Structure 1
């Protein structure tokens, strides 16, 4: 039975699939999303949302709701009133035997990042059971169609599109799509259908995550934390603070010793929760016990014809660094605007090649960083230290090189050693506070509304060039001035920080990445801008 057609079919209704649906719908594309489960997740996985992910949520209006649903991630010892009130959590990992022995604990990892220096958005500690409904509601409101109990069982591609076969709660249906985005998890059936291989370092450990509720009163003098590595002879693993009164205990099991998830009976889970708390009489409510493995994997390709992989379908990481869902949402953000520009006739399909060219190197580097950190517990050997990058660099300091970037340095490091935002093509445009239309806003808020050209006030030639190129190509281009008296009014510091001097201009893509830059004047602004966009959008 046929069940219609769509420009984009999304497979998988987790955070990455829902984000893809939202980003596309806000660009005017009405996707269909199919999810085999009957409902959204009720399990608080993927709890750490890094600053770049929160920035992306900010651009689609979700940052306030995510902040309300979660807790601000702060540095050790910072904002203690918020921490004690359950509105913030410090980015600290302790080593201890139990919660009752925190007075004997020691700091294994602590991170204190001055986020205000480079972003308007602080990271948020929020389980996906809280932010998935926000993504769902926003995607549906924007025009996405989401179908639960719909399992994709077949794909056939041709030169014009993809025919997908879906099991709709027992009824076979077909959906015709021009493109498919598979965000269907680490065991991705779509990746298997496409016969895309992968590179893997293997599995670093097998775990069962026990989600439980218990009232654990910590004294005000107890050190505050987000994670505890429990070094207890009775039970070893990671104890994760989810929210007040709710915890996750990730416990190792060893298949080579004959152990399996079946060993984690409800009674055993209660016993383990009590061991973690250090209270043999603690009242415990076990919500769930989910097996998982700390797997490293990078797909050999992110695209096969008209089908694209995103999130865990194309990269899997051990949990060290908390990169997983963040990398997936950034995949979706990178791909969605490209699909929209192609579908709306603003770009040739060659633009879509840049998705794999940009995101696969970042995905591989991210997986390798997570593997290194997880295997070493943060205690890096000398040979690892040269390759190590701070987690903030991994999540937002990367540099793209592709046909969708013009002028990126040939020797640009994918993950630079220092976190800097200089306006270099291929990097995220710098954040700065400016006055815009009577409000104090971040440049991040303005530079992600579409294609944007920024130049200094008084230079009407670039503004005229943007208008002319937009009229010639049909591509909407927002043209702004930055500096004293400009559309983005400041003292001139922000544009200078982008490496743009008098007579120069900065072109920013819809995902906030610098696409091209002219540091100073050029002979023909219209021709120069048209050539840069033709390279990016048409492969010319």
Structure 2
């Protein structure tokens, strides 16, 4: 029998992020994964701003940027007849998301009202992201990796979980005993299926789409400065699709089409039509895929939980698949660490589903709206004329207007990325204030309990979010003295809850915090706020630790 505090099934981005997040809190884990190597398919093409904040807290943001698109490269989205043009519109500087990452970081530094994230997003393909996380995990003494191992089954009892894993080559079996088991094993999750948890929604709602991954050393020359746009939405009579440049190599491209090759079409003819001229390229792989809008009915039972694609399957419109999984791992890891380290209460693990399931559903709704916007922009567009006449130019201008008004929600949705809130959770202490407006596109900074702490910089250039270590709660206080916060510190110490007090005295930060005191969890979400330390500090500490 092999013992580990946490057994993680699935070694993709979410499983590896969970293992690394646990290690940052001193908790050991084992990761088992069917595959022996990381993926060779581009898959995702962006780590969004909230996920980059998470990776920053874990000390990984700079490594991910080094493996992704150069920080000075464009992040533009365009609508065009083909990659060779004509281009109807190119969305560039209208929002933070289109800015090169280096320029985005400058804009964030200049922001003092909390309306921007701590980190800009990063364009990177999953085939380039996974090796970064895997290398980090391999070098971590708290993480045992068993790639090439298959989960055969598990049983749980009041004290833990006993799992049986098989080596995929030899068939040798091992029993693993853990306090908790987490399934990060993808859409066909064995962990979810063993728990008999079904998805909530209609499968295959849109039917079958088609994808072609190809490589070319010539296509980048079609774009200004030899930099392919992030996304080129192709719309013209007889052809529609999306050409994605997912990584920094300027050689990999992914073409999405709304249907498989029709009679008389070849893969090459489809790629040629998307490019708009005959260039050299190599087709790496292709095939149909089925976009989904699914969320699991439950996120786990007793000592077994699920995260990532095991909890949700989204069409990539809006880029919320893996990014939702990263924030699930971020929410889950500190709670697991609290239980392993002995200060988490009996309600803490229940709060994972209570907090994250509504967010998964909210994100699904946003993805549906994004998908509808794409369909409308491509298939309900004004007639496109490609000539040089005034009528043709007017038609292309109309296309540009409709594209920007509809498709922009895929990219500019800071509200859904950093504005999500944990409502009515057992570990969040509500106050008497009304909930501020919430929108999936526009983000309004707030410390309303359950919200992510808004970010701004102090006079020394240190960000509020950077002052929240992943191993501790943080009490931000304005005009406070040690004696005033001592009862809360003592209550935390008696419960073995790690708590740090940080004084805030800059006027713009006081305004941003909204109340004199703001208590922030390790995952950077506000769990209590008020203008005075409560009379019953033990009750407050017990609430936020799930006791």
Bigger relative contact order, structure 1 or 2 (CA pairs below 8 A, ≥6 apart): 2
**Offset of residue 178 of structure 1:** 1.2
Which of 313, 318, 322 matches 1:316?
Answer: 313
Contact 1:238 1:250 (C-alpha < 8 Å) held by counterparts: yes
Aligned to 2:540: 532
Cα offsets for 1:395-454 (capped at 9, x unmatched)? 11011120111015686479446412221110011211125xxx6321111113411111
Shift of 1:269: 3.4
SS at match of 2:209: strand
Aligned residue in 1 for 2:63? 65
Indicate if the aligned counterparts of 2:39 and 2:126 stay in contact, CA closer than 8 A.
yes
In structure 1, the partner of 2:100 is none
Query: Aligned equivalents of 1:372 and 1:148: distance in 2?
Result: 37
1:429 and 2:453 equivalent?
yes
Q: Conserved in 2, the CA contact under 8 Å of 1:25 and 1:139?
A: no
Of 313-322 and 132-141, deviating more is 132-141
- Partner of 1:209 in structure 2? 211
Structure 1 contact 51–119 (Cα < 8 Å) conserved: yes
My pick for the range that moved more, 199-208 or 372-381, is: 372-381
Alpha-carbon offset, residue 160 of structure 1: 1.4
The residue matched to 1:440 in structure 2 has which SS? coil
| Equivalence for 1:103 | 86
Report the equivalent of 1:52.
50
Partner of 2:502: 480
Distance 1:219 1:155 in 2: 53
Cα distance in 2 for residues equivalent to 1:302 and 1:13: 18
Given that 1:482 and 1:494 are in contact with CA atoms closer than 8 Å, whether structure 2 keeps it comes out as yes
Number of the residue aligned with 2:293: 296
User: What residue is the counterpart of 1:160 in the other structure?
Assistant: 159
Give the CA deviation at 1:482. 1.1
C-alpha deviation, 1:464, in angstroms: 2.1
**2:128 and 2:183 mapped to 1: Cα distance?**
23
**TM-aligned CA deviation for residue 349 of structure 1:** 2.9
Q: Give the whole-Å Cα distance in 2 for the aligned partners of 1:279 and 1:200.
A: 41
Q: Cα 1:223–1:132, aligned 2, differ >3 Å: closer, same or farther? A: closer
Q: 1:538 to 1:105 in 2, by over 3 A?
A: closer
Q: Give the superposed CA RMSD.
A: 2.9
Between 1:39-48 and 1:293-302, the stretch displaced more is 39-48
1:93–1:316 CA distance, 2 compared to 1 (3 A): farther
Residue aligning to 1:178: 179
Alpha-carbon shift at residue 19 of structure 1 (Å):
0.5
Once the two structures are superposed, residues 299-357 of structure 1 have per-residue CA deviations (whole angstroms, 9 ceiling, x without a partner) of 10011221111111111111111111110000000000001001111112310111111
| Runs of 4+ residues over 6 Å off in structure 1 | 221-224
Q: 1:442 is paired with a residue of what secondary structure?
A: coil
Point out where structure 1 has 5 or more consecutive residues left out of the alignment.
73-81, 484-490
**In 2: Cα distance, 1:511 partner to 1:462 partner:** 25
- Cα distance in 2 for partners of 1:394, 1:42 equals 29
SS of 1:89's partner is coil
Evaluate the alpha carbon distance shift between residue 413 and residue 190 of structure 1 in structure 2; reply closer, same or farther with a 3 A threshold.
farther
* 8 A Cα contact 2:76 2:90, kept in partner: no
**Residue 532 (structure 2) pairs with residue 521 (structure 1):** yes
Is residue 393 from structure 1 mapped to residue 415 from structure 2 by the alignment?
yes
Residue 9 (structure 1) aligned with residue 20 (structure 2): no
Q: C-alpha displacement at 1:233, in angstroms?
A: 6.4
> For 1:329-368, what aligned pairs fall within 5 Å after superposition?
329-368=326-365
Question: Which residue is equivalent to 1:448?
Answer: 469
Once the two structures are superposed, residues 3-40 of structure 1 have per-residue CA deviations (whole angstroms, 9 ceiling, x without a partner) of x0211111111111111111011111111011000111
Tell me the TM-score normalized by structure 1. Answer: 0.84
Establish whether residue 461 from structure 1 lines up as the match of residue 483 from structure 2: yes
Unaligned runs of 5+ in 2: 97-103, 381-405
Residue 235 of structure 1 and its aligned partner are, at CA, apart by 5.5
Deviations 1:271-301 (A, max 9, x none): 4323321223x22122222542111101100
TM-score by length of 2: 0.83
State the match for 2:429 in structure 1: 406
Structure 1 residues 521 and 412, CA gap change in structure 2 (3 angstroms): closer
Partners of 1:533 and 1:426 in 2: how far apart? Answer: 16
Q: Is the 8 A contact 2:446 2:453 kept in 1?
A: yes
> Match of 1:220?
224
Q: Shift of residue 372 of structure 1?
A: 2.3
Q: How many pairs does the alignment contain?
A: 492
Distance between the aligned counterparts of 1:110 and 1:354, measured in 2? 39
